[in-house]
Amino acid sequence: MSDATRLQQAVMKVLIQFLPDMQEDNRLTLAYMIVGLILGRNVQFAQMAEQVNYPYKESSLEDRFRRFVANHNIEATILFIPFVESILATLSQERLVFSMDTTKNGANCITLLLSVRYKSRALPICWLSFKGKKGHSSQALQLKLINLVNSYLAPGCQAIFLGDGEFDGSDVVTWLASQAAWWYVCRTAKDTKVFYQGHWTALQDLPLTPGQDAFFQHLLFTQQNQVGPVNIMALWNAKEQEHWFFVTDFETLAEGKRWYEKRFTIETLFSDVKSRGFNLQKSHLKNPDRADRLLLAVSIAYLFLVFWGVEAILTGDFKTMVRTDRFEHSLFRLGLKYISHLLKKYRSIPLFGGLPPPHSFVHVVL
């Protein structure tokens, strides 16, 4: 039995478990796509098709992939919900750390994606694509995703939202500030005005000392919308030789800074699904809905690989696969190595049934 067939059987078992109501032909196509992504590490349909053990011409499999991403009955975010529920159940004892960012996806698409932190990685939760080559997403689109994620959370769950300068809009900050279970840290522009000591003052004009961080409490945010009270962090960036500014509801500089540093995990997710993994940047899809359906396959494949990376640690197999005297491999990269190792040694493939809680194992890799 070929590696592709063995992997396909394992993937199908998981999809049947998580997506029992999905139309059978669509589920099989999704399995083919996931196998092609994992073995071929390229989102281009021709590259994916080359990796799959398909009984007919590869060109017909490419057509099958095209029909899948064009199928209006396949709603990517809804189909991903069972995987989201599994992720959030794993993190039920944690304060959830969500990051949001945009990335180019396809020939003329940008994807707004919201992820949750797991160890030192970010796991995709939901996404929406829109037409464009560059530029920011709208506050309406951002709030749509945030509200969607909020609907997934169990009562009493605590969440933190982290965003760069694209997500400091007053509507987003107002919504976050109104939620008792949410905290936030968002970078904001230096010319943003806050009400400070009786005057509307640009952040860059606050009393700041070069080389030192600062923290300002109980301000109104933006002269136009007057959201508040909020707190402002001013962090000195040594490379740029200037202060960077952040709006937050954390009560101390140390706490706000500590949490914002975790935002980098979404950058690792984008690099994993792009240049270090599936080469999403090579997609030629121009339609946002089609880009979203491709990202469904990419997200499930990514989740599988993180799971296999964890399995390599839990079983101890990583010790025979990679150097242990220095930390070089992320969970994603370790997952790629582990599935290759399992296929090469003709060993059984662990089936994804959920990730173990992050506190249950020592993360010996990056």
CATH of the domain at 194: 3.90.350.10
CA distances from 70 to 63, 215, 233, 293 (A): 10, 50, 45, 8
Query: In the chain, what is the greatest distance between 2 CA atoms, to the nearest angstrom?
Result: 75
Task: Tokens for 179, please give them.
Answer: 């939620």
Distance CA 15, CA 71 (A): 18
Are residues 98 and 195 both part of a single domain? Answer: yes
| 278 occurs within a structural domain | no
Q: Which is more confident, 201 or 327?
A: 201
222, 312: one domain: no
Domain contains 195 = yes
Pairing state between β 227-237 and 214-221: antiparallel
- Identify whether 274 is part of a domain: no
Average pLDDT over residues 52-68: 91
- In this prediction, residue 325 carries a pLDDT of 64
Q: Is 65 exposed, middle or buried (0-12, 13-18, 19+ CB in 10 A)?
A: buried
Same domain, 129 and 256: yes
- Whether residue 106 is predicted with pLDDT greater than 80 in this model: the reply is no
Task: Give the per-residue pLDDT at 218.
Answer: 94
Q: 171 or 65: whose pLDDT is higher?
A: 65
Q: What integer is the mean pLDDT of 182-196?
A: 93
Residue 109 in this model has a pLDDT that exceeds 80: yes
* Same-domain status, 52 and 167: no
- Domain hosting residue 147, numbered range: 78-268
- Segment holding 63, helix H or strand E: helix 58-70
Mean pLDDT of 276-283: 88
Q: Is residue 54 part of a domain?
A: yes
| pLDDT surpasses 90 at 55 | no
Same domain, 70 and 82: no
pLDDT at 366: 47
**Identity of the amino acid at 3:** D
pLDDT band at 184 (very low <50, low <70, confident <90, very high): very high
Partners of 202 in the beta sheet?
193
Structural domains of the chain, count = 2
Do 34 and 58 share a domain, yes or no? yes
Q: Are 226 and 322 found together in one domain?
A: no
Predicted confidence (pLDDT) at residue 174 exceeds the cutoff of 70: yes
Is residue 41 domain-resident?
yes
Q: What is the pLDDT of residues 240-255, one digit of tens each?
A: 999 999 999 999 999 9
- 264 and 311 together in one domain: no
Within this chain, do residues 71 and 83 fall inside the same structural domain, yes or no?
A: no
Nearest-CA neighbor of 149 among 125, 179, 185? 125
Last residue of a domain, one of 218, 238, 268: 268
The answer on 217 and 92 residing in a single domain is yes
| pLDDT at residue 216, rounded to an integer | 97
Q: Do residues 83 and 64 share a domain?
A: no
